């Protein structure tokens, strides 16, 4: 019983905290456009498609947090070392028995220039359609207790309010991407989210989202033609909420770039180890086959919430495909 009460208390605490904090991704480095609009179109190839799925803390409730996302981005115009890129991103999160849904639909636009050979600097904006809804009919209340079970036909006695809200939001970011030599790739970006601070409260008009300030970066370094080390980090501050995710992938090349055609027909396997501050450790497995990439990650919860989760965190998957993928070691297609 004590564990049940503690778990229930944690659930309400977590839901309250997440009302003012964006959901996090374990594999944040696989689709940087989601966290920084400046990264839109900044990849080798013509078009990039990405999708991911995450289920978190299912030991507390089967439907605690389920998150799905999908995105598409591409460079749409290139001339004299500069380019214009555009992308779209969809994000849907469902939480708990009330089916608390957060839907984010945004358009990413960025402009980049080649500051040095194979080194690019870009700035981007991300106008966003933000939707939030809740299903009150799936909940039961104290006034509906009929002695042996709940009678949902009885009035709940709770205040009524709109069960859906729609808001406009805006994000912006800057991003650097550079191939410094054949085996050294560096990317670094900074972003500001929720610039308009939309009100997302159902009951009040004073529940504005905190602005989100973030930094993300990654390195890919090849010790030789087969073994690569890919460390990356993501840190953000959003009101009282702060988080740092840091770790590295270890990548082994099964097949390298063709020395004759220049086509980057990479086939590689990777394993990663990461830490998210005051929250979890997680492991990542991934596979790349030319333009296709697939990965899975699993979190082991180490925060005080572990009393409710039994250490079980979240499972996450991603799938990505790059059309016209030619290889990051030969610069961009022009």
- Point out the residues of the chain with pLDDT beneath 50: 1-19, 259-263, 327-334
The Cβ-side half-sphere exposure at 29, using a 13 Å CA radius, reads 27
Residue 147, pLDDT score: 73
For the stretch 127-159, pLDDT in tens is 999 998 877 666 667 766 777 777 666 776 666
Residue 308, pLDDT score: 56
Residue 17, pLDDT score: 44
Global confidence as pTM: 0.81
Residue 25, pLDDT score: 80
Please report, for the chain, the start and end positions of each structural domain, with discontinuous segments joined by +: 2-330
Nearest by Cα to 64 from 303, 299, 313: 313
Residue 161, pLDDT score: 66
The first and second tokens of residue 167, run together, are: 């808001």
- Third-level CATH fold of 2-330: Porin (2.40.160)
Round to whole Å and give the CA distance between 334 and 314. Answer: 40
Q: Contact at 8 Å (CB) between 171 and 106? A: yes
The first and second tokens of residue 16, run together, are: 């309250």
For the stretch 252-299, pLDDT in tens is 998 765 544 444 567 899 999 999 998 789 999 999 988 899 999 998
């Amino acid at each position: 019983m004590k564990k049940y009460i503690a778990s229930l208390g944690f659930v309400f605490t977590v839901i309250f905290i997440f009302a003012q904090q964006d959901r996090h991704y374990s594999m944040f480095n696989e689709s940087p456009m989601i966290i920084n609009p400046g990264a839109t179109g900044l990849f080798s190839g013509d078009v990039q498609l990405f999708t991911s799925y995450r289920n978190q803390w299912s030991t507390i409730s089967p439907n605690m947090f389920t998150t799905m996302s999908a995105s598409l981005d591409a460079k749409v115009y290139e001339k004299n070392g500069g380019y214009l890129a555009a992308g779209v991103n969809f994000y849907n999160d469902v939480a708990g028995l009330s089916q608390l849904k957060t839907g984010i639909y945004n358009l990413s636009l960025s402009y980049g220039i080649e500051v040095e050979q194979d080194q690019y600097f870009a700035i981007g904006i991300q106008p966003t359609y933000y939707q939030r809804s809740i299903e009150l009919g799936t909940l039961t209340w104290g006034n509906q207790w009929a002695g042996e079970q709940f009678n949902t036909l009885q009035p709940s006695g709770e205040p009524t309010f709109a069960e859906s809200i729609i808001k406009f939001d805006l994000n912006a970011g800057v991003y650097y991407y550079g191939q410094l030599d054949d085996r050294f790739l560096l990317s670094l970006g900074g972003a500001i989210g929720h610039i308009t601070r939309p009100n997302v409260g159902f009951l009040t008009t004073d529940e504005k989202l905190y602005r989100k300030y973030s930094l993300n970066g990654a390195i890919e370094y090849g010790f030789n033609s087969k073994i690569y080390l890919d460390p990356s980090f993501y840190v953000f501050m959003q009101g009282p909420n702060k988080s740092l995710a840091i770790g590295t992938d270890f990548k082994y090349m099964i097949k390298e770039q063709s020395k004759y055609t220049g086509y980057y027909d990479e086939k590689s396997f990777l394993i990663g180890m990461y830490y998210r501050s005051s929250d979890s450790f997680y492991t990542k497995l991934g596979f790349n086959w030319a333009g296709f990439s697939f990965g899975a990650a699993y979190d082991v919860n180490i925060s005080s919430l572990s009393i409710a989760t039994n250490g079980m965190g979240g499972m996450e998957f991603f799938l990505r495909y790059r059309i016209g993928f030619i290889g990051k070691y030969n610069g961009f297609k022009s």
